[in-house]
Amino acid sequence: MKPFQYRLAKSVPEAVAALAQIAEARPLAGGMTLIPALKHGLAAPAALVDLGGIASLRGVSFENGELVVGAMTTHAAVAGSPIVNERLPALGRLAGGIGDPQVRHRGTLGGSVANNDPAADYPAGCLGLGATIVTNLRTVSADEFFTGFFSTALAPAEVITSIRFPVPMRAAYVKFANQASRYATVGVFISQSANAVRVAVTGAGRSGVFRAGEMEQALAKDFRPETLPAHCVALDDLNTDLHASAEYRSHLINVLARRAVEACMGAPSRHPVRHGGAYAF
């Protein structure tokens, strides 16, 4: 690990100023990804600006029909939030299915979304709900925020402050989890609101999280699992790695989407429910 400066910011303006002043400074949230990257020499920032001292970045509220979650809110806090579980239980279950208890108590919503790991759960939740990412500079729709493999619309020295999740009529997230890390081999988030159906897929795409337009169109016409197309993504656009082939991932997208629709319709699950309620097989 290369030496780096450490700054503990007490406010968002202080964090942004430090990030702007020091070339190659990075925000530090839960450190669950960034610290291992430093240890393995995959990242070598000149400074870490710790957001952990900024109380205003933590917490959950319900404002104007949207759930507003602070960027430094941990996965465990989202999973255990009465507001989340009353207003948008699918998001609470998603958070409760991330990693293990240590990861859930350190990892944060903002860190997960800024990192945009192609197998992470929150990017699917943001895209599947049509969330808005709020930064110190602007608001960005989830459709515009996730720009590719580990890449986002964030500019240098831009800090995510919160994420606003519209509350749909119904929503569900189902994932086939990697048995070691619990990252999604494939995960599918589906929401239905008065004017739209959104289907977001994580873990499968070569460029990271994506919306499954064909599935959205089929469900908008008829919200039943039977209407879902068997294969909705070209195999060339899907990952093949040591965990699963593109063909297997394509099959999983269909199976998990069906189960998500069933869950939205309130059908009792025929499958094991583990890790805080996210379906993990």
Ligand X SMILES: Cc1cc2nc3c(=O)[nH]c(=O)nc-3n(C[C@H](O)[C@H](O)[C@H](O)COP(=O)(O)OP(=O)(O)OC[C@H]3O[C@@H](n4cnc5c(N)ncnc54)[C@H](O)[C@@H]3O)c2cc1C
Positions that interact with ligand X (CB under 6 A): 26-34, 51, 71, 75, 98-99, 103, 106-108, 110-112, 114-115, 120-122, 154, 159-160, 181-183
Q: How far is the CB of 209 from ligand X (least distance, A)?
A: 11
In angstroms, the CA 68 to CA 20 distance is 27
Q: Do the Cβ atoms of 45 and 24 come closer than 8 Å?
A: yes
Q: How far is the CB of 213 from ligand X (least distance, A)?
A: 23
Which of 126, 106, 273 minimizes the C-alpha distance to 189? 126
In angstroms, the CA 218 to CA 225 distance is 10
Q: How far is the CB of 146 from ligand X (least distance, A)?
A: 13
Nearer to ligand X, 93 or 106 (CB): 106
| Residue 226 CB burial class (10 angstroms; 0-12, 13-18, ≥19) | exposed
Q: How far is the CB of 232 from ligand X (least distance, A)?
A: 22
In angstroms, the CA 170 to CA 159 distance is 30
Question: How is 163-183 classified by DSSP, letter by letter?
Answer: EEEE--SEEEEEEEE-TTT--
Q: How far is the CB of 265 from ligand X (least distance, A)?
A: 26
Nearer to ligand X, 34 or 232 (CB): 34
Nearer to ligand X, 72 or 257 (CB): 72
Nearer to ligand X, 55 or 267 (CB): 55
In angstroms, the CA 263 to CA 225 distance is 10
Nearer to ligand X, 159 or 261 (CB): 159
Nearer to ligand X, 19 or 215 (CB): 19
Read off the tokens for 90.
């699918």
Nearer to ligand X, 100 or 237 (CB): 100
Nearest-10 Cα torsion for 268, 274, 275, 277: 10
Q: Using CB atoms, what's the residue nearest to ligand X?
A: 111
Q: How far is the CB of 170 from ligand X (least distance, A)?
A: 22
In angstroms, the CA 132 to CA 217 distance is 22
DSSP-derived secondary structure letter, 277: G
Question: 203 forms bridges with which residues in the sheet?
Answer: none
Q: How far is the CB of 98 from ligand X (least distance, A)?
A: 4
